[in-house]
Structure 1
Amino acid sequence: MKKGRVTIKDIARELNIAPSTVSRALNDHPAIKKETKEAVKALAEKLDYQPNLLALNLLQKKSNTIGVIVPEITGHFFSAIITGVQDVIVHSEYNIMICLSNESYEEELTIVKRLSKIQIDGVLVSPSSETKNFDHFKKLQKSGIPIVVFDRDCPGLEADKVLVDDYFGAFQAVEYLIGIGCNRIAHLGGPLNLSTTEHRLQGYLDALHKNKVAVNDQYVVHVSGFSHEEVELATKELLNNNELPDAIFAYSDNLAISAMHTAKELGLQIPGQISIVGFDDEPHSAFITPALSTVWQPVYSMGMLSARILLSHLKNPNTPPEYRKEVFKPELVIRASSKENKLVSED
């Protein structure tokens, strides 16, 4: 027997039968005698024969693979979503292929083209912060590949969507800050074309309006990217106002933590002079000093539900799609970075 991967031809040669007979015996074809099946399967096990799934998938015009496109996996958020996806997919016939767009629309386009070429069976996607056009996702759908959008919405794209009520989370956070005596609340927002940015900004504004707190345009700044340098510049812009904000509601925990670092460098006490609240509840947010108040999102559950919805489409490929939109409610987590400032309340 030759060294290397064992093939059907190798088994056929060893048993002096046709390769087609081996193939049918391995697949329990009724035309093959019981004795032949047993001999073929015994030799296949002895030689550790593994079927060529790639060739089989090409023959069946499917890959038994699901693509998961995410902007990044360095933080807890997307890695937790992927874990939720994997914990569902592992019990199915499918594998997952994780693809990183690195917050780049161009890289996202390239990923989608490659997934299409390898006959991917379905796609779970959270679009990049640069993505404004969703035609590449529509092309996948037209070729029969189902898509589930999670976390970041794709407005105008008809697809299954698993999201979080970002508006509600932001509204909760800002109303809480108002409740502890803050009335100069700034917003450190994310990239403007993201649906999550838009919804969190609107929650911030509506909480101020509802509680009759004046909106100061100078207290609202947005970052175009998520690097510490960009957040530092945006935070300094907020903190260099003639009237210092007494609170910052940040788009994410990472932005909030960068803002805390910058505020400390400027000599500000947190929460003595300024309260800070983030969004995401990253695990490390509870262990920085002071521990960060934030908005918790059920990210693991988002991953699991996204995978289950996609699998339901793959199991029923001929059923007309009835798109689902599932929206999870986030929860406010209060920690040390946003305690009431007694000095301010006494003035």
Structure 2
Amino acid sequence: MKKGRVTITDIARELNIAPSTVSRALNNHPAIKKETKEAVKELAQQLDYQPNFLALSLLRKKSNTIGVVVPEITSHFFSAIITGIQDVIANSEYNIMICLTNESFEEEVVVIKKLLKMQVDGVLVSPASGTKEFDHFRALQKNGIPVVVFDRDCPGLEADKVLVDDYAGAFQAVEYLIKSGCKKIAHLGGPPNLSTTKHRLQGFLDALKSGNMSICEEHIAYVQGFSHEDGLEPAMTLLSSSNPPDAIFAMNDNIAISAMHVARKLGYNIPEDISIVGFDDEPHSSFFRPSLSTVWQPVYSLGMLSARIVLQRLKEDDVQRPFREEVFKPELVIRGSSR
């Protein structure tokens, strides 16, 4: 027997039968004798034979693989979503392939083209912050590959979508800050192109209007990314100005924690001098002192539902079924960083 990967041909040669007979025996074909099936399976086990799923996918025109495209996996947010996806997919016939775009539209296009060439059966995608057009997603759909968009919306793209009501979460957070006595509320927003950024900004603005609060343009700043480092300079600009805010509603928890760091550096007491509220409810947020008030969103459920929807699409013959748009409601979590 040759060294290396054992093939059906190797088993057939050892047993002096045709490779097609080995293949049918391994798949319990009724035309193959019981004795032959047992001999084939016993030898396959002895030789540690592993099916070539790539060859099978080419033969069946089905890869049994679902692509999961995300901007990054270092944060709890996306890792929790992927866990939710995996926990659902694990109970199916499919595997998942995780692909990173590093928040780059160009990398996202390359990733989608690769998944298309690999004949994946479905794609779950959270678009990169630089994504403004969606022809690469439509290319998947034109090839019969269902696409489920999660977390970040793709306005104008007809597809199944699983989102969070970012507007409601932002409105709730800012409304709370107003009721707690804050008079000058600032917003540290995300990359302007993102749907989540736009919806949270609109929730912020509408909450101010609802509370008869004036909108100060200099109290609205944007970050270029979502890490702690990305929030430092914008927070410093806000808090060191001649008209500093007495509250900050941040795009996510990392940016909120950056604002807390800058506030302490400038001598602010939290929450006596300034209240700070984040978004996401990352696990580490409750361990800071003071602990971070934030907006919780059900990220694990977001992943689970996205996976269930793509599996349902793959089971259905009627591809004309209307697309689903499911929206989860977030919840405000009040801790020590706000009044």
What's the CA shift for 1:225? Answer: 2.5
Answer whether contact 1:166 1:196 (CA < 8 A) is retained: yes
Q: Which residue of 1 aligns with 2:19?
A: 19
Residues 133 and 319 of structure 1, relative CA distance in 2, 3 Å threshold: closer
1:217 and 2:217 aligned = yes
Residue of structure 2 equivalent to 1:111:
111
What amino acid sits opposite 2:324 in the alignment?
R
Structure 2 residue aligned with 1:239? 239
Structure 1 equivalent of residue 3 of structure 2: 3
TM-score by length of 2: 0.97
1:252 is matched with: 252
8 Å contact from structure 2 (residues 293, 334) kept in 1: yes
Greater shift in the superposed pair: 23-32 or 65-74 = 23-32
RMSD after superposition: 1.2
SS of the residue 1:335 aligns to: coil
Match of 1:142 in 2: 142
Classify the secondary structure of the residue corresponding to 1:141. helix
Query: In structure 2, what is the equivalent of residue 83 of structure 1?
Result: 83
Q: Aligned in 2, Cα 1:80/1:136: closer, same or farther, shift over 3 Å?
A: same
Distance 2:24 2:118 in 1: 27
Query: Is the CA contact 2:226–2:252 (under 8 Å) kept in the aligned structure 1?
Result: no
Deviation, 1:317, is 4.3
Q: CA deviation at 1:30?
A: 2.7
Quick one: which amino acid aligns to residue 93 of structure 1? E
Aligned residues: 339
Give the Å deviation of 1:40.
Answer: 1.7
Structure 2 runs not aligned, ≥5 long: none
Q: Quickly say closer, same or farther: Cα 1:36–1:171, change in 2 above 3 A.
A: same
Alignment partners' CA distance in 2, 1:72 and 1:329: 23
**Equivalent AA in structure 2 for residue 31 of structure 1:** A
Whether the 8 Å CA contact 1:24–1:32 is kept in 2: the answer is yes
Query: Is the Cα–Cα contact under 8 Å of residues 271 and 338 in structure 1 kept in the other structure?
Result: yes
With structure 1 as the length reference, what TM-score do the two structures score?
0.95
Query: Which whole-Å deviations, capped at 9, do the CAs of 1:55-84 have from their partners, x for residues lacking one?
Result: 111111221111111111111000000000
Q: In structure 1, how many angstroms separate the alpha carbons of the residues matched to 2:210 and 2:76? A: 33
* Residue in structure 2 matched with residue 202 of structure 1 by the alignment: 202
The aligned residue for residue 74 of structure 1 is 74
How far is 1:3 from its partner? 2.5
Query: How many Å separate the matches in 2 of 1:21 and 1:304?
Result: 40
Counterparts of 1:1-347 in structure 2, within 5 Å, are 1-339=1-339
Q: 1-side partners of 2:318 and 2:56: how far apart?
A: 22
Q: Deviations over 1:63-107 (max 9, x none)?
A: 111111111111100000000000000011111111111111111
Deviation at 1:224, TM superposition (A): 2.5
- Check whether the contact 1:218–1:241 (CA below 8 A) recurs between aligned residues: no
SS of the residue corresponding to residue 337 of structure 2 reads: helix
Q: What does the per-residue CA deviation read over 1:117-159, in whole Å, with 9 as the maximum and x for residues that have no partner?
A: 1111111000011111111111111111101000000000000
Distance in structure 1 (CA, Å) of the matches to 2:291 and 2:225: 24
Q: Distance in 2 between matches of 1:270 and 1:147?
A: 44
8 Å Cα contact 1:76/1:283 also seen in 2: yes
Q: Distance in 1 between matches of 2:193 and 2:319?
A: 34
